[in-house]
């Protein structure tokens, strides 16, 4: 059976200056979800709620068949969690941390741990305080990956990493999914990382979910359309299309819900279509945030 590894329904949390509202999402077992949003959008708050680290004011949270926060002790045995504010012991070595985790979690895989040490280019005898930021992130990831947890929850695992370290980390995350019983949720500000490795995308802005969907479906709905209008004509705005730009005859418009009916609608205004282009997640992200803040998009 492949159910949901993570399921949030109508989750909310009120702070003095920030409200997380009506957050609902489903993460099927065996998939990777990329969680994107600007700084302060609510990514970390959502992740802390699903980890049981803070308690929601409303809504239900289920993680690996445990109601959260009540079932957090049972859930955490099978979750590997890494975030920036987690501290390793500065004066202990990587090897010390590895044997410490191995003594707590019976699922520790020493062979896999040794392989990750090699692939992440780490030195086990090195003390944590002597590590660079990238090495620290990789060490923390190694410590959870080698436990082979059913669910990995990673808060911005690639932030601050150089391109080589980023690809090492993304490669290791994809490999987790070779086992279809395992699931990954990671947040990121880097849309390229999310676009590369995610099966599902959840997009949060100002404490609300903007979209939570299959990645390819989501990308497929967005198109940039280039078109020309007859000389002397003025361009007509079509409802539902965004960011109409152009000067003179050549124009560009962004379509958030591209269907077979889109081009005929434009052609009916006298436009002749010159190109229909797919958009990157980065472009979609920027367009969505901008139009939401201007009140154009809900």
Note whether 115 binds other proteins by CB under 8 A.
no
| Options 215, 223, 225, 284; binder of other proteins; rule CB under 8 A | 215
CA distances from 3 to 26, 27, 65, 216 (A): 9, 9, 9, 21
Q: Which is nearer to other proteins, 219 or 252 (CB)?
A: 219
Question: Which range of residues in 91-99, 112-120, 190-198, 251-259 is near other proteins by CB under 8 A?
Answer: 190-198
Residues 6 or more apart whose Cβ sits within 8 Å of residue 170: 158, 193, 196, 197
The radius of gyration of the chain from alpha carbons, rounded to an integer in Å, stands at 22
Note whether 196 binds other proteins by CB under 8 A.
yes
| Options 48, 200, 208, 223; binder of other proteins; rule CB under 8 A | 200
Residues 227 and 250: their CA atoms lie apart, in Å, by: 6
Tokens 């492949």 locate to: 2
- 78 three-state secondary structure: coil
Strands 223-228 and 4-14: unpaired
Q: How far is the CB of 206 from other proteins (least distance, A)?
A: 27
Q: How far is the CB of 177 from other proteins (least distance, A)?
A: 6
| Options 22, 26, 67, 214; binder of other proteins; rule CB under 8 A | 214
Note whether 211 binds other proteins by CB under 8 A.
no
| Options 53, 54, 114, 177; binder of other proteins; rule CB under 8 A | 177
The answer to whether 96 touches 121, Cβ cutoff 8 Å, is no
Question: Which range of residues in 4-12, 35-43, 107-115, 165-173 is near other proteins by CB under 8 A?
Answer: 165-173
Residues 213 and 28: their CA atoms lie apart, in Å, by: 11
| Options 68, 140, 197, 271; binder of other proteins; rule CB under 8 A | 197
Residues 115 and 142: their CA atoms lie apart, in Å, by: 10
Q: Which residues are near other proteins by CB under 8 A?
A: 30-32, 167, 170-171, 174-175, 177-178, 180, 195-200, 214-216, 219, 274, 278
């Amino acid at each position: 059976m492949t159910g949901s590894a993570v399921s949030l329904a109508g989750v909310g949390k009120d702070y003095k200056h920030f409200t997380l509202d009506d957050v609902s999402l489903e993460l099927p077992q065996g998939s990777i979800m990329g969680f994107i949003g600007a700084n302060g959008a609510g990514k970390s708050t959502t992740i802390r709620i699903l980890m049981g680290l803070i308690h929601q004011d409303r809504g239900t949270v289920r993680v690996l068949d445990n109601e959260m926060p009540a079932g957090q002790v049972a859930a955490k045995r099978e979750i590997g969690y890494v975030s920036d504010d987690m501290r390793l012991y500065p004066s202990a070595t990587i090897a010390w941390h590895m044997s410490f985790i191995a003594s707590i979690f019976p699922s520790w895989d020493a062979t896999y741990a040794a392989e990750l040490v090699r692939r992440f280019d780490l030195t086990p005898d090195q003390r944590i305080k002597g590590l660079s930021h990238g090495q620290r992130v990789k060490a923390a990831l190694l410590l959870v990956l080698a436990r082979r947890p059913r669910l990995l929850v990673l808060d911005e695992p690639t932030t601050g990493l150089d391109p080589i370290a980023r690809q090492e980390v993304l490669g290791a995350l994809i490999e987790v999914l070779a086992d279809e019983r395992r699931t990954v949720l990671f947040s990121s500000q880097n849309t390229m990382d999310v676009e590369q490795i995610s099966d599902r995308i959840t997009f949060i802005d100002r404490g609300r979910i903007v979209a939570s969907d299959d990645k390819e479906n989501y990308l497929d709905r967005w198109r940039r359309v280039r078109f020309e209008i007859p000389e002397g004509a003025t361009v007509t705005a079509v409802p539902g299309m965004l960011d109409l730009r152009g000067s003179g005859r050549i124009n560009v418009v962004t379509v958030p819900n591209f269907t077979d009916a889109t081009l005929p609608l434009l052609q009916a205004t006298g436009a002749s279509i010159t190109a229909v282009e797919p958009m990157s997640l980065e472009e979609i992200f920027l367009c969505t945030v901008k139009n939401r803040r201007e009140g154009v998009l809900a």
